[in-house]
A and B are shown apart, each in its own frame.
Chain A
C-alpha cells in the first residue's frame, strides 16, 4: 500500500557500497580541481551530497541520519558564506578592494583564493542538501517501526 523509498535488495546495497567511495572521491576531486578542470565548489558539493542521499536510500535513512553529526553539518552550512566573506575582506585588509585577490601576499594568490572559496561553497552546498534531506526524512518511519495496529505517522500527526 505505502511505497518505501529504500530497498532491502542485496544488488542495490552492494552496488551502493561499492560505488560510494569512488563517487565521494570524484566529488572531492571536482571540488579541489575547479581551477584546472571541469567542476568547482557547487558541482563537487552536490555530487558528494547526492552520494550521501543515495547511501541513505539504499542502506536505510534512519541509520544514515544517526551516522551524521548534526553540529558538523551546521558548521559546514555556515562555512561557505564565512570563508567567502573572510577571503573577500582580506583584499581590503591588504590594501586592495573587496574581492581583490592579487594583492594577497601569497604566491598565485588568485588560484588559492579561488580554491578556498570553492571549498567553502562546496561545504555549504553539500551540507544544505544533506540537512534538507535529513529534515524532510525526519518523522518518516521505516516500515519495521510501524506496527499496523498503532497506526502510521499520518495518524500520529493528526492527533497533535
Chain B
C-alpha cells in the first residue's frame, strides 16, 4: 500500500464496494440483488488481495461470489414473483421502534471505536513478540505459508472447532431440508 497506483485502486474499489453494498439493499428485483451482491463479494476479494491477504481473497471470491450466489439463485428459483402492486412490504413505512434499535446498535458499536489502538501503532498485538515467534518457528518447521502454520499448528484447537462447526451446520441444515423434501 505504498505506490500511488495501489492507493488509487483501493479508493476505486472501496467506492465500488460501498456503492454495490447500498445497491444490494435498495434494488427491488431479487435476481438483481443477488448479482449485485456477487459483485460486492468480488470487489471485496480484490481488496483483500490488494491488502496482502490472498488467502482471505481466495475464500471470499469462491464463497462470496461463487457458492453463495449459486445457492441464492437456487433458492429464488423456487419462489414466485409477486404481481405488480401486490408487494409483501410497504417500503416507505419505517417503524420508529426499528429506527431506535438501529441507532442504539450503531451507537453502541461506535462507542467502542476509541478503545482501538491507532492505525500503525507499535502497541498492537500484531507487532508483539508472538508474531515474530510464529514467523521464525514456522520457517524452522518447514512451513512457508505462515497463515497455514498459524491455522493448523499454533491455533489447531480453534481450527478443529471450525471444522466441527462446518460439519455440525451441514448435518443440521440437511436434517431440516430432508424433512422438507420428503414430508
Contact = CB atoms under 8 A, between A and B. Distances in A.
Interface of A: 2-5, 30, 34-40, 42-43, 46-47, 49-50, 53-54, 57, 77-78, 80-81, 84-85, 88, 98-99, 101-102, 108, 110-111, 113-114, 117-118, 120-121, 124-125, 128-129, 131-133, 135-140, 153-154, 160
Interface residues of B, number: 45
A77 B167 contact: yes
A78 to B, nearest CB: 7
Overall SS of chain B's interface: helix
Q: Summarize A's interface: helix, strand, loop or mixed.
A: helix
B78 A153 contact: yes
Contacts of A120: 163
Contacts of B76: 3
Contacts of B142: 35, 108, 110-111
Contacts of B70: 50, 53-54, 57, 133
Interface in B135-181: 141-145, 147-149, 151-153, 156-157, 159-160, 163-164, 166-167, 169-170, 173-174, 177-178, 181
A81 B164 contact: yes
A34 B80 contact: no
